[in-house]
């Protein structure tokens, strides 16, 4: 059986092939590994690699180009990379490190690459953000003016934090730094603030404890946990804070308020030091590389209160830094203190003397000050800080005096009771109206006649009494955020009635 090929059929096929032809030229930047070990690979031939570009190795491991040298590229591996050998080929992806972002991340625990690690399935997202985004400029911001309540009397009254502020939490290990941060997250319930908790170089059990505390109190619904535990590679511990910041920025740029906690930046600096020394970067003070200040400044500058033109969102940062033996003048603490808008200093001595939270009010400061306080707190808190400062001075002096006059004894008694009202149990933040009633009772002498060991019980009773018998007090403070004469009269009546009942 024979076929005859017709000329017009051939010409039709050729024409359709020509019409469909597209000359797509693809340039792939490929290099070769010539040295690998300790989570670092040196690559020859990647002439056009960008700083921070993602590199793909033959076995699927991903790396980041950090050192761009004349003859080679130094890359850090974001995985074990055990099968990478000398001669393995590497392809430059053409992408700078980025992560997916979306609302579905709320309530999830993810790793430093924003991949879920809580066993609840994948997170589908069509949007991505660069891990290292430029910070908002001067014109994009407005000054901090809205309060961000922590629920801790000592902080909200004397070291207030505002939305968009960066407030450092600094102290020795085991002085309650994480407890302050977790209490702040718990206090954001019902206040339209999305929280991101970044755990860097911590034990997996510590992170699990934070997650269970938030779940028990219904706070995981508005929280994202980014965990780079102690057993993860240094690269991921270095990246985790930037990943957390990118997730928080996504919400900030959609006009929402976010709070991000970096726990803690000392471990990030140590991970960065490890990477830098392996990359043979010259070491500086305490063997940290010269750009360790920039490591933290470019991260913390991303916290901001955006202008109304950009939606008015905010990102409040609470970085945590660990000190050794209370030495605030060490390299990393001084660096971060100079970048932030104030610091909350937690003292080991105060912690061991039974005062929790162990905040050293003398060294702690908020550079935003009363601009970030509700009117009610601004009205009554000034007197508290002054009286506590006078008490601290007087207490030190009175240790050397055998007999004290009546006025001095009264002032010391008042100071001891004021110190007592600042004590707070862990995971029990107080609302604004409860804080105002507590401080008012202390600074106006209503607690002076009570034995010190009964002060905290009396304050618990006072809160219950106000809720049950004087509901108008709470209504006024919630509506106006101000401590009006009417509210003051109601509170005075409640205190007088309670003291009379005790008598």
**Has residue 411 been placed in a domain?**
yes
* Paired residues of 141 in beta bridges: 306
- Could you tell me the two tokens for 496? 């007088």
Q: Please determine, for residue 331, whether its predicted confidence score (pLDDT) is greater than 80.
A: yes
409 and 330 together in one domain: no
Whether the pLDDT of residue 403 is over 80: the answer is no
Residue 394 has pLDDT above 90, yes or no: no
Q: Same domain for 409 and 342? A: no
Specify if 201 maps to a domain.
yes
Domain-located, residue 174: yes
Q: How far apart are CA 353 and CA 347, in angstroms?
A: 10
CB 180 within 8 A of CB 155: yes
Tokens representing 335? 């660096």
pLDDT digits (tens, 9 = 90+) for 62-83: 999 999 998 899 999 988 888 9
For residues 357 and 227, membership in a common domain is answered with: yes
User: Is position 22 within any domain?
Assistant: no
Residues 382 and 413 in one domain: yes
Q: Compute the chain's Rg from CA coordinates.
A: 29
pLDDT at 340: 97
d(CA 374, CA 50): 47
Residue 247 within any structural domain of the chain: yes
Give the annotated binding-site residues.
171-178
Q: Are residues 425 and 368 in the same domain?
A: no
Whether residue 1 has pLDDT greater than 60: no
Whether residues 398 and 365 fall in one domain: no
Q: Is 16 part of any domain?
A: no
| Whether residue 235 sits in one domain with residue 194 | yes
Range of the domain at 441: 377-502
The yes-or-no verdict on residue 436 having pLDDT over 60 is: yes
Across the chain, what does the average pLDDT equal? 92
How does 296-321 read in b/e, with b if 16+ C-beta sit within 10 Å?
bebbbebbbbbeeebebbbbbbbbbb
What is the spatial distance between Cα 269 and Cα 274, in angstroms, rounded to a whole number?
Answer: 9
Count Cβ neighbours within 10 Å for each residue of 252-287 and write b for 16 or more, e otherwise. bbeebbbbbbbbbbbbbbbbbbbbbbebebeeeeee
- Chain centre distance of CA 138: 22
pLDDT per residue as tens digits for the range 153-194: 999 999 999 999 999 999 999 999 999 999 999 999 999 999
Residue 27 has pLDDT above 70, yes or no: no
pLDDT at residue 402 is higher than 80 = no
Question: Do the beta carbons of residue 259 and residue 136 sit within 8 Å?
Answer: no
* The pLDDT of residue 310: 95
Q: Is the domain of 381 the same as that of 279?
A: no
Give me the DSSP letters along 285-323: GGG-BTTHHHHHHHHHTT--BB-GGGT--EEEEEEEEE-
Mean pLDDT (whole number) for 319-324: 97
Residue 197: name the closest of 214, 174, 216 by CA.
Answer: 214
What's 461's domain CATH number? 1.20.150.20
Q: What local confidence, expressed as pLDDT, does residue 88 receive?
A: 92
For the beta carbon of residue 98, count every other beta carbon within 10 angstroms: 17
Q: Give tens-digit pLDDT for 253-298.
A: 999 999 999 998 999 999 999 999 999 999 999 999 999 999 999 9
One domain for residues 160 and 273: yes
- Per the domain annotation, does 418 fall within a domain? yes
Q: Is 322 exposed, middle or buried (0-12, 13-18, 19+ CB in 10 A)?
A: buried
Q: Which sign does the torsion angle of CA 370, 373, 377, 379 carry? A: positive
Q: 42 with 188, same domain?
A: no
Is 10 domain-assigned?
no
Partners of 223 in the β-ladder:
195
Nearest to residue 70, comparing CAs of 86, 47, 93?
47
Q: What is the pLDDT of residue 26?
A: 62
Give the tokens for residue 98: 């980025």
Query: Which of 373, 402, 417 corresponds to the end of one domain?
Result: 373
The confidence score (pLDDT) of residue 2 equals: 58
SS3 159: coil
- Residues identified as active-site: 367
As for how many domains the chain has, the answer is: 3
111 and 175 part of one domain: yes
The annotated binding site for ATP is made up of 171-178
- Tally helices (H) and strands (E) across the chain: 15, 16
Last residue of a domain, one of 373, 394, 421: 373
Q: Examine the fold and report which residue of 373, 402, 429 is the final residue of a domain before the chain moves on.
A: 373
The answer, yes or no, to whether residue 31 has pLDDT greater than 60, is yes
**Shared-domain flag, residues 254 and 272:** yes
Say what the pLDDT of residue 155 is: 95
Q: What's 34's domain CATH number?
A: 2.40.30.20
The confidence score (pLDDT) of residue 3 equals 61
Distance CA 136, CA 301 (A): 8
**What value does the mean pLDDT take over residues 312-316?**
97
């Amino acid at each position: 059986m024979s076929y005859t090929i017709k000329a017009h059929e051939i010409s039709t096929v050729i024409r359709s092939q020509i019409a469909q032809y597209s000359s797509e030229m693809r340039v792939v930047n490929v290099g070769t590994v010539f040295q690998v070990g300790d989570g670092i690979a040196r690559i020859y031939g990647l002439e056009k690699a960008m700083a921070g570009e993602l590199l793909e190795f033959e076995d699927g491991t991903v790396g980041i180009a950090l050192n761009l040298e004349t003859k080679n590229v130094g890359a850090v591996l974001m995985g074990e990379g055990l099968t990478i050998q000398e001669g393995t080929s590497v392809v430059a992806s053409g992408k700078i490190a980025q992560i997916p972002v979306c609302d579905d991340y709320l309530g999830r625990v993810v790793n430093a690459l924003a991949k879920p690690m809580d066993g609840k399935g994948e997170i589908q997202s069509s949007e991505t953000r660069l891990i290292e985004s430029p910070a908002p400029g001067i014109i994009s911001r407005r000054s901090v003016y809205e309060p961000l309540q922590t629920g801790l009397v000592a902080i909200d009254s004397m070291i207030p934090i505002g939305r968009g502020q960066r407030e450092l939490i600094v102290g020795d290990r085991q002085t309650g730094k994480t407890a302050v941060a977790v209490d702040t997250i718990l206090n954001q319930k019902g206040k339209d603030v999305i929280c991101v908790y970044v755990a860097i170089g911590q034990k997996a059990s510590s992170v699990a404890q934070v997650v269970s505390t938030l779940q028990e109190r219904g706070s995981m619904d508005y929280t994202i946990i980014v965990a780079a535990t102690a057993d993860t590679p240094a690269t991921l511990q270095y990246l985790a804070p930037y990943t957390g910041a990118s997730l928080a920025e996504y919400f900030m740029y959609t006009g929402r308020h976010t709070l991000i906690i970096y726990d803690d930046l000392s471990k990030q600096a140590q991970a960065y030091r490890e990477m830098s020394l392996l990359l043979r970067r010259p070491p500086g003070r305490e063997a940290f590389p010269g750009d360790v200040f920039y490591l933290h400044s470019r991260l913390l500058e991303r916290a901001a209160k955006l202008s109304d033109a950009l939606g008015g969102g905010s990102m409040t940062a609470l970085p945590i830094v660990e000190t050794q033996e209370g030495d605030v003048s060490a390299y990393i603490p001084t660096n971060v203190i100079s970048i932030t808008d104030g610091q909350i200093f937690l003292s080991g001595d105060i912690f061991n003397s039974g005062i929790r939270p162990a905040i050293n009010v003398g060294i702690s400061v908020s550079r935003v000050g009363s601009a970030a306080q509700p009117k009610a707190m601004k009205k009554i808190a000034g007197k508290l800080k002054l009286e506590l400062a006078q008490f601290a001075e007087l207490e030190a002096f009175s240790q050397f005096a055998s007999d004290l006059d009546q006025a001095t004894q009264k002032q010391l008694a008042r100071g001891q009771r004021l110190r007592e009202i600042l004590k707070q149990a862990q995971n029990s933040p107080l609302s604004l109206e409860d804080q105002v009633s507590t401080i008012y009772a202390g600074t106006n002498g209503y607690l002076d006649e009570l034995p010190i060991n009964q002060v905290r019980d009396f304050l618990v009773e006072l809160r219950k009494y106000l809720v049950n018998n004087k509901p108008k007090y709470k209504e006024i403070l919630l509506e106006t955020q101000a401590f009006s004469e009417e509210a003051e009269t109601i509170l005075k009546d409640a205190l007088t009635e309670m003291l009379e009942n005790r008598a």
